[in-house]
Structures are given as structure tokens and as C-alpha cells.
Chains A and B, each alone.
Chain A
Amino acid sequence: MKNLDKIFNPKSVAIIGASAKEKTVGFGLAGNALLGKDERKIYFVNPGQGDILGNKVFAKITDIQEEIDLAVVAVPAAVVAQVVEECCQKKVGGIIVVSAGFAETGKEGKSRQDDILEKAKIAGIPLVGPNCLGVIRTNNNLNVSFAPSTPEKGNIGFISQSGALLDSVVDNIEDLGLSYAISYGNEADVDLIDFMEWLAEDKDTKVIALYLEAINDGKKFMEVARRITKIKPVIAIKAGKFESVKGVVKSHTGSMAGDYSTYKAVFKQTGIIEADSIEEMFDIAKLLAWQPKCQNSFAVVTNGGGCGVLASDYCKTQGINLAKLSKETIDKISGFAGMNAFWSKSNPVDIIGDASPERYQAAIEAVLGQKNVGGLIVIQAPQIMTNPIGNAKVILEAKRMFPEKPIICFFLGGEKSEESIRHLEENNIPNYGELKRGILAIKSLIK
């Protein structure tokens, strides 16, 4: 396993090719790096620049007196080799080459890549990239990427072969947050497997999410993935599924894509959860990061009969079992003074449109108290009598009482529930605005 400590935990960072010109890679990197200026020293290197965002600029990395842990290189491909050479002289602890124009462009680029790889290898310095967006670690405010924004702190480690895709995830992840966002590009030296092993050991990362186009060392990938999925869940999306798009993949990352049906087999054999879309990947990741796994026996509590029926249908399709309510549970719910006499008496537990938070509480506590109920699905349709904030509080209280049982919410509708959903998710209770999406994710929660 490679030691990536200087890459993910640097005390000092040099951005080579930093720029004061807005909307450039060098400017994006400089601005992002400065977000961590309280945690580490940030140096800018560029022979043709006066100052950047009020900071002094060095002509060469070797001009910097202090030690440099991490060098981030964003200069034209033709001069990368020289800059890497200087980084080696400076004895940096890690190098990230953001620049494109290497193996992904063909033979000439490949030889340029081999050249910088050799330099880094001889010096014993781990090298990330080339042709990548950079890396982000949220818990120490490290953003050495040119991503358009920085994600919130979270428990999902996202590793992506594509930089642009990482951009779009980072920009759209909102409250969910990430522990890491890693773009690995051409993986000349530090590769996907190294990053997976790093995240497997990382305390903040509870779930690893992967965007893959091709894998370079299939056998090693399987061996490592088998080990890691025993430690924490790994979810992957494989792009380039069809013969006709393989050419696209090759030109994109410079590596050959294998047959998709083989990848499916590999995921299955190694215990990796396969997602069909980015949305599905993070739907699953959110659930696994926030809630414990459970036996396949769920209860549904809803204030809308139709939503309950629809949820039952989706559960059936996904092989999710709904528990049979015990007589004791039915009696407990019926015995609650504020219960509507027409409640369903079966699972899904339909507590009728006029359900108050107190009624939700009575039903939720009764079903969670039933021993063979493994997990709970709470549906809330925004009816005129509904109190979303009150319901959210009831759910958080139930979670405190039954920490080992997962709770998944479906506060449907829009504006009326926004604040309550935020409250739920800030407390790691996942909410889905669409029944089918969330129930598909629940499948991954079953032990």
C-alpha cells in the first residue's frame, strides 16, 4: 500500500502554474488551496506572475526555502517533465499532475507520461494523475483541485476516473457531503486501487463510491475489492457498457475497457454494489453512510393510503419484505387515544390523512418495538393537517430509542416539507422525495 499521507495530509502545498487570471485552472487551484490556509502553508509558483490573490509568487519550487509536502502541477504538458524534475530536487512528499496531454492523447503523450513517471519513481515520490482534476479532503479543508466548489464534510468517499463528472457531483452534493473527492485521471503511478485502500482505512469514510470507465489491473482490483467490501460498502457505476462506446472510453482515459458483462460478474463476486446512475449511487451511499444494515423485514407508516400501496408495490418488486404486525402491535396502535379508528390495522400502517405528530409517534414506536421489524419506512404526504416539523422531531426521537433499526423517510411534496427534511438529514436520517428511488436504495441495506 502506498503512503499517501503527504498528499492527503500536507503541512505545505505548492501550486505550480497558479494564476491570477480568473476562469483558469491555475486560478481555480489557487483559490481552492487557500481555503485550507489556516491548516497549512500555501505557496504559489509561476515564473510570469506578480502576485496571486495577494500572495507572493515564486518563479520555481526550488526557490521556496521551506519544505514542501505536496506539489500540484498545472503547467502545459511540454514543461511538466521539467517541473516534476524540480519537484524531485525539492524532495516534495507527493506530486499531483493536473495537466492533460499524456497517455490519453496517444503515443507521444504516453512517452511523456512514462518520462515523468520514471522521474517520480526514482525519487520515490507518489504521483497522482496526470490528466486529473485533483483531490479534495473535507475534514482538513484540503482542496487541491480546480473543482468549481467544495463539498460539505460528509462520510462518502468518491473516487472518479472522470474529472468533469467529479465537478458535477461536487457541485450538486449539497447537504449530503463527502469525506473525499478524488479524480485519478490516467493513474500513471497512484492508481484507483491505492485510493480505495486509503479510503478503506480512513475513519471519516463510511462508504466508498466509484465512477469507473476501465480498470487497469483486473486481478488486483478483485483481490483488493474483496477485502475492502468486508470493511465498508463500495458502490460503483461503470460507464462505457457497450461495444460501440469502447472507443470513446479509450480516447478518454487511455485504457481499454473490458466487456461490461464481465464487470457485472466482477462486482458481484467482490461484493461491490452496482448502481445504474449517479443519482442511484448517491441514493444508496447516503443510506449506507447514515443508517445501520438490518434484516429483511420492514414496517411502513404512512398518512396516505395511496402512497402506502405504491410503496408496497416497489418493495415487492425489489424483494423487500414487509413484516406482519403482531396482535400486540395492533393493540398498541389502536389503544392510542388519538388514533383514527379507520387506521389500516396492517402493514403498511396507514394512520390516515389527519395524522398528528403524536399519532405518528404512537405508530412508529409500536412497530419499532415489534421484535421482528428490522427497519422503518416513514411516508408523509403534505396534507392540510400535516405538521412536518413535528413529525421530523418524532422520527429523531424514535431513532434515539431504536438506534440499531434503520429509519428511511419519504417526506413527499415540495416546499411544505423542506425545513423538516433539512432537519432530518442534518441528523443523518435519509429522506427521499420519490418512493421508487428510495426503495431501490433500501435493497442495499438488507444484511
Chain B
Amino acid sequence: MQVVDFEVSNKLMAKYKILTPRTVFVKLEKEAQKAAKNFGFPVFLKIYGKNILHRTEIKGVGEAKDKSELGKMFSEMMKIKGTEGILIQEKVQGKELIIGMKRDAQFGVVIMAGIGGILAELISDFVLRVAPVSENEALKMLAELKGYPYLQGKRDKNPINFKEAAKVIAALSEMGLKEAEIKEITLNPVIVNEKKAVTVDFKLLK
């Protein structure tokens, strides 16, 4: 499987109304500074390359608090092998979900929703459904997570907007059923707060 081109991925996300943070793909520091000024600091930097699958392990992800930090990070990241440019991205705050789509040989499109972020693989708290998954079914999936009370904000009084999160899950189900050439999708993290669900990082494979 191969990573789907950033442009194509972005268009698909827009087509299925999956909200992403404002992001600009740049190759020059000047462009990076301009974007950051526009979004407001802090901003994220993420390397992009067709053959790069895991950015974190190769220090290809960073957060810049100000102009000078951005400049330093930019030049360091451009040196990483396989890097074609850098994504400058606004920072959204909230709780992290992982939402995915894969194709099962027997059952077809399978949708996954779980607690996301860098701990996703470690805690492995996720629920699967065979598509189609409606918004209603997606709400049930979230309620089945061990981390459901955390998402409800039982402790920190910061509940997520479940309806918005469910919309993303249902949208991924639809995308899986309609876009046959896409074999696998991982949205991680999808940051959800009381207002919205924003897919910060996504990887589509074909």
C-alpha cells in the first residue's frame, strides 16, 4: 500500500466534510513564517514526504512557540531524509480520538474509533463496527470505550462534542464505502472539544 498524495487526501477530507486544522504546505522558511503569523502562535510543524509513514520516530513533528523557534525547527526538519516540505498547522486543543477505516477480506469496510494520540497503540482502547456506520451507531461506539467517562469529562468537566465526533466516524464509513481505491484511513489524532472535532493528522493509503 502507498500513502495517498497530500493534495488528494486533503480534497477527500473536504469532500466528506471532515474538518482539518488550517494547514499550509511550505518549502521555504519565509512562507512558513507568513503562515504562522496568519494562524497565530503556537503552530505545529510536520514534515511531509511520500515515503514517510511515521513522523514522530524521526523527529519530524514539532511545536513552535515563536518566530525564532519556528526558523530553527524549519531548517532542522528540512534536513530529514525523504522530506519534501513542511506542513505548518494551527494548534487545536481538546481530547484526542483515533478514527480509522480498513478493509476486511470477509466483511468489507470496517470502522474503528478509539482513544487517540501518542498513547493509542499502548492503551489500545478501541471499538470496531462493520460499515455502514450511522451517526447514531457511532455514538454507541464511543459509549463503549473504556475511556468514555474521560470523554464525558467526568473529572475535568470538559466533555467533548459527541455529535461532532460521531459525524467524523460516520463520514469515514461513507468514504470507505464510496472511495474504493482508498484501502485504509487513519485519523489520529482527531481533537475534539466542546465545539468541534478537528482531524489534526490523517493518513490515507491506497
Contacts and interface: CB of A to CB of B under 8 A. Distances in A.
Does A associate with B in a complex? yes
Tell me if B's interface is mostly helix, strand, loop or mixed. strand
B128 interface: yes
Contacts of B130: 218, 222, 262, 265-266, 269
Contact of A269 (B104, B108, B129): B129
Contacts of A214: 106
A180 to B, nearest CB: 25
Interface of A: 214-219, 222, 256, 258-259, 261-262, 264-266, 268-269
A191 to B, nearest CB: 13
A264 to B, nearest CB: 7
Interface residues of B, number: 10
B128 A218 contact: no
Interface string B82-124: 0000000000000000000000111110100000000000000
B108 A218 contact: yes
Contacts of A256: 105-106
B87 to A, nearest CB: 31
A219 B106 CA distance: 7
Contacts of A269: 129-130
Nearest to A257: B106
23 contacts: A215-B106, A216-B106, A218-B104, A218-B107, A218-B108, A218-B130, A219-B107, A222-B107, A258-B105, A258-B106, A259-B110, A261-B128, A262-B104, A262-B106, A262-B128, A262-B130, A264-B128, A265-B128, A265-B129, A266-B107, A266-B130, A268-B129, A269-B129
A214 B128 CA distance: 18
B106 A218 contact: yes
Nearest to A258: B106
Nearest to B133: A269
Residue among A216, A218, A264 with the highest chain B CB neighbour number at 10 A: A218
A261 B104 CA distance: 11
Contacts of A258: 104-107
A218 B104 CA distance: 9
Nearest to B144: A268
Interface in B104-157: 104-108, 110, 127-130
A265 B111 CA distance: 10
Contacts, number: 39
Contacts of B108: 218-219
B128 to A, nearest CB: 4
Contacts of B128: 261-262, 264-265
B120 to A, nearest CB: 14
Contacts of B106: 214-218, 256, 258, 262
Contacts of B110: 259, 262, 265
Contacts of A215: 106
Nearest to A261: B128
A425 B179 CA distance: 55
A28 B84 CA distance: 70
Nearest to B110: A262
Contacts of A217: 106
Contacts of B104: 218, 258-259, 262
B140 to A, nearest CB: 10
A215 B127 CA distance: 21
Contacts of B107: 218-219, 222, 258, 262, 266
Given A216-B106, A219-B107, 19 more contacts: A215-B106, A217-B106, A218-B106, A218-B130, A256-B106, A258-B104, A258-B105, A258-B106, A259-B110, A261-B128, A262-B107, A262-B110, A262-B128, A265-B110, A265-B127, A265-B129, A266-B130, A268-B129, A269-B130
A111 B33 CA distance: 66
A224 to B, nearest CB: 13
Interface string B146-172: 000000000000000000000000000
B183 to A, nearest CB: 14
A266 B107 CA distance: 8
A96 to B, nearest CB: 26
Nearest to B112: A261
Nearest to B107: A218
User: Lowest 5 A-B CB distances belong to which pairs?
Assistant: A218-B106, A218-B107, A265-B128, A258-B106, A262-B104
Interface string B181-192: 000000000000
A268 B104 CA distance: 16
A201 B128 CA distance: 31
Contacts of B129: 265, 268-269
A69 to B, nearest CB: 34
Nearest to A259: B104
A149 B105 CA distance: 38
Contacts of A261: 128
A219 B130 CA distance: 9
Contacts of A262: 104, 106-107, 110, 128, 130
Contacts of A264: 128
B73 to A, nearest CB: 38
A183 B110 CA distance: 30
B169 to A, nearest CB: 13
Contacts of A265: 110, 127-130
B161 to A, nearest CB: 24
Nearest to B141: A265
B125 to A, nearest CB: 12
A261 B127 CA distance: 8
A104 B128 CA distance: 30
A217 B110 CA distance: 15
